[in-house]
């Protein structure tokens, strides 16, 4: 399974391990945190023979854990991962890349990644927020609007899911791996779900092709 795992409200520092259901708890960690921190990480984990995964809190005190499912891998899948030479797609700090300044609170950037190639079903990217002016989280999701909708000014404002791909606090610089479906239109949206502006950087280094 491809997951995004988030820890929030931890009462002390610790780590989280995600592993197949019914298996032994590994000594490796998938996510490390400090007391009071909210932090997310991308996790790929096999499903156990019981069809489950297990999550182990390696701290000596409790924490809240949020698990969002991104997708799954199957031997019957028609898609294959194809690497790309890493390329920067967006940097809101760079006027040559983006002339709109920081990404506004509760606003989103559209990323038309594969609207001309229906064989591509998703992209693997690294998203980074920096110069964060307040606490918040980033949500990455397919856009139901097409490029023609945006060009013809008939696109409607989508409703983002309530899941997060990365979380930040004021002043922090936070990256995370993002595996994003392109949906039916080939456009991916990056939502600033905070109440203050932030800079956003997006780098791509692979995609899933079904043809």
Distance between CA 155 and CA 162 in Å, rounded? 21
* pLDDT given for residue 117 in this prediction: 81
* pLDDT given for residue 103 in this prediction: 97
97, 124: one domain: yes
Domain, as residue range, for 172: 80-209
* pLDDT given for residue 29 in this prediction: 94
107, 175: one domain: yes
194, 119: one domain: yes
Q: What's the CATH number where 150 sits?
A: 2.60.120
Which of 41, 71, 101 corresponds to the end of one domain?
A: 71
16, 64: one domain: yes
In this structure, what token pair is assigned to residue 50? 């019981």
94, 166: one domain: yes
7, 28: one domain: yes
Cβ contacts of residue 34 below 8 Å, gap of 6+? 10, 13
Q: What is the block-wise mean pLDDT of the chain (211 residues), using blocks of 10 residues?
A: 94 96 93 94 94 96 95 83 94 92 96 86 96 96 96 96 93 95 95 97 94 72
* pLDDT given for residue 115 in this prediction: 75
* pLDDT given for residue 135 in this prediction: 95
57, 84: one domain: no
* pLDDT given for residue 76 in this prediction: 81
* pLDDT given for residue 118 in this prediction: 79
* pLDDT given for residue 3 in this prediction: 94
- In DSSP terms, 138 is beta-bridged to 166, 192
In this structure, what token pair is assigned to residue 202? 């997006």
Encode pLDDT of 102-117 as tens digits: 999 999 999 999 877 8
DSSP classification of residue 197: -
Radius of gyration of the chain measured on its C-alpha atoms: 18
* pLDDT given for residue 38 in this prediction: 92
* pLDDT given for residue 33 in this prediction: 95
**77 neighbors 206 (Cβ within 8 angstroms):** no
> What DSSP letter does each residue of 56-71 carry, written as one string?
EE-SSS--EEEEEEEE
126, 190: one domain: yes
Say which residue the tokens 């298996």 belong to. Answer: 23
Which of 71, 99, 116 corresponds to the end of one domain?
A: 71
Residue 86: strand, helix, or coil: strand
173, 120: one domain: yes
140, 180: one domain: yes
* pLDDT given for residue 126 in this prediction: 97
Cβ contacts of residue 164 below 8 Å, gap of 6+? 4, 6, 40, 66, 68, 137, 138, 139, 193
* pLDDT given for residue 87 in this prediction: 95
* pLDDT given for residue 79 in this prediction: 81
203, 118: one domain: yes
- Nearest partner of 16 among 160, 174, 34, judged by Cα: 34
**Total domains in the fold of the chain:** 2
């Amino acid at each position: 399974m491809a997951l995004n795992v988030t820890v929030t409200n931890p009462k002390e520092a610790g780590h989280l391990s995600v592993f197949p259901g019914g298996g032994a708890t590994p000594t490796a960690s998938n996510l490390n945190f400090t007391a009071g921190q909210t932090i997310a990480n991308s996790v790929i984990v096999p499903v156990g023979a019981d069809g489950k995964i297990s999550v182990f809190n390696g701290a000596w005190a409790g924490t809240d854990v949020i698990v969002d499912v991104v997708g799954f891998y199957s031997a019957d899948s028609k898609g294959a991962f194809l690497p790309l030479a890493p390329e920067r797609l967006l940097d809101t700090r760079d006027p040559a890349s983006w002339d709109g300044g920081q990404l506004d609170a509760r606003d989103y950037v559209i990323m038309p990644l594969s609207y001309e190639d229906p064989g591509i079903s998703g992209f693997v990217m690294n998203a980074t927020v920096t110069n964060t002016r307040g606490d918040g989280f980033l949500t990455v999701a397919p856009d139901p609007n097409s490029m023609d909708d945006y060009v013809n000014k008939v696109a409607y404002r989508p409703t983002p899911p309530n899941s997060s791909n990365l979380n930040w606090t004021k002043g922090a610089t936070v990256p995370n791996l993002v595996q994003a479906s392109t949906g039916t239109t080939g456009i991916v949206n990056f939502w600033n779900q905070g109440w203050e502006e932030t800079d956003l950087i997006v780098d791509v280094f692979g995609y899933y092709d079904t043809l």
